[in-house]
Amino acid sequence: MPAVNSVINMENNNFYTTQVLGLFNVAIELKDNKYKLPLELLFSVGARINKKRRFLFVSKVLGKHIPVTNVNSLLTGALLAYTFLNEYRPPLLAPCKDTSLYSIKEDRIVDSIINCKNGKALWKELIENPISLNEKILFLAFAETATALGHSIFSCFDNASFIHTTREDIAGFDNKIVFEEEHSHATSHRVYPLNPEILKSDSPIVLVDDEISTGRTVLNIIKELDKIHKRKEYVVLSILDFRSNADIQYLKEFEKEYSLKVRFISLVSGQFKVNPASGLSDWNDVDKYLESNLDTISHSDAYNSKNLELEIKYIDIDKYFKELIYLPSVNGLGQTNHTPYLKHTGRFGISSFDNMNIIPQIHEVSKIVGDKITGERILFLGTEEFMYIPLLISSFIDKEIYYHSTTRSPIFPSQTSGYPIANRFTFNCPPNPTVANFVYNIPYGFYDELYVFFERRFDESGIDGFIKVISRLGIKKVTILYCSGKKGNSNE
């Protein structure tokens, strides 16, 4: 697949600069890079039409906007798990453990991510030999981007719980938590713990996000969690931590006000500044360019001129997922979907024991799906928050598989060399047609086969727009997989 080239230029060992589409300049000063990971391996910088925040760090390892191979998404979570262990080791490790083994694993994870090799075998080894803890920890990940990241961190431990925030609207749920992500395209987060007791432990809660730019989102949820149970400390795990001095000062005032500590641990930390490029008077000029050019940027002629005969199959794999959560959701049209959720996504909370119990079913699904693959270039596509289980399925298939996901995040596309979003396809979210969805970086005709994973069935008409999009991608064989529900039994 065409590489996403770096637009990040190293001025010296700790200072990097990049210009995005000739519109704005980003300067990054590194404070810490624990494993000396190349920045161009981790992220690039993209533009978006959002006056709260006109740029975003586009991850190259999450499997959200840019496809990944070698299960690098899962390994990035594993690396964060071991980083957390090293920086928080004394109170957490079970006794009589040889801690030197952990540093050896860190080195192997870093090598696998950088060189993109041996990832699947290493991942299996890590989850089959989880880290033993002497007290239970709750990992809480932020939707939609960090659901798989948080789940992969959690999967490296044997005495933990996991839950993630969600955009889903669950009808009649009494114990939900609601908070805001201030600079996001979709600001409201919800947490639906089936067992509210998991939020009441004195052990620290570990909050997981891919990137921390201000820290306000994590502080917003801490305010809500503090109302439920007073605890002394929270930990925030992220790939990037780019908080400013003002953000760090705000944190100190927050800690004093709430009588608690919030500890940030990341793979890379530093600070950044963003300014309009020379020749532009202010941010209004940037906004005008993005707004006026979005609709005029078309895909290459190949996307519009060729109509390949598309082989599309719809497969229910619900029989492999037996543990379900029977809660109805309501979409933006007011339609109620009674199709159950999968327990093992972690949306409603799971334990390490639950997490291990899903592995035999994942092996079965991987065998079924793997046997259907006949092409060479294969794309697995997760959908919105539903990222970890499709990734896990791919990890047990002994073939090279590209992976990324649909998203609600609107990013400005450009075929400018080095820019991270080469193309963008827009469609209505199949289960919730009032919400715009996007998928990025699918070169025309590159993939032989596409496998799209939905957590549960929904009104059949909702998928029409998505099918129109994927029919333009030059992929001959498409398989849509539903993990819960039967045809004709969803919305009302």
Position 1 scores a pLDDT of 40
Position 91 scores a pLDDT of 59
For 74-196, strand residue ranges (E) read: 137-141, 160-164, 177-180, 188-191
Query: Cα-Cα-Cα-Cα dihedral of 115, 117, 122, 124, to 10°?
Result: 140
Position 96 scores a pLDDT of 45
Q: Which of 40, 204, 226 is nearest to 136 (CA)?
A: 204
Position 34 scores a pLDDT of 92
Position 287 scores a pLDDT of 92
Position 203 scores a pLDDT of 81
Position 4 scores a pLDDT of 44
Position 136 scores a pLDDT of 87
Position 305 scores a pLDDT of 52
Position 101 scores a pLDDT of 61
Separation between Cα atoms, residue 327 and residue 455, nearest integer Å: 14
Position 277 scores a pLDDT of 93
Instruction: List pLDDT tens digits, range 246-255.
Output: 999 999 999 9
Question: What backbone torsions phi and psi does residue 367 show, to the nearest 5 degrees?
Answer: -65, -45
Q: Which residues contact 3 (CB under 8 A, 6 or more apart)?
A: none
CA 51 to chain CA mean position, Å: 23
pTM for this entry: 0.94
Position 491 scores a pLDDT of 61
Position 304 scores a pLDDT of 59
Instruction: List pLDDT tens digits, range 310-355.
Output: 899 999 999 999 999 999 999 999 999 999 999 999 999 999 999 9
Position 5 scores a pLDDT of 42
Q: Which residues of the chain have pLDDT under 70?
A: 1-7, 89-102, 182-187, 295-308, 487-492
Position 93 scores a pLDDT of 58
Q: Which of 130, 221, 131, 205 is nearest to 161 (CA)?
A: 205
Position 297 scores a pLDDT of 56
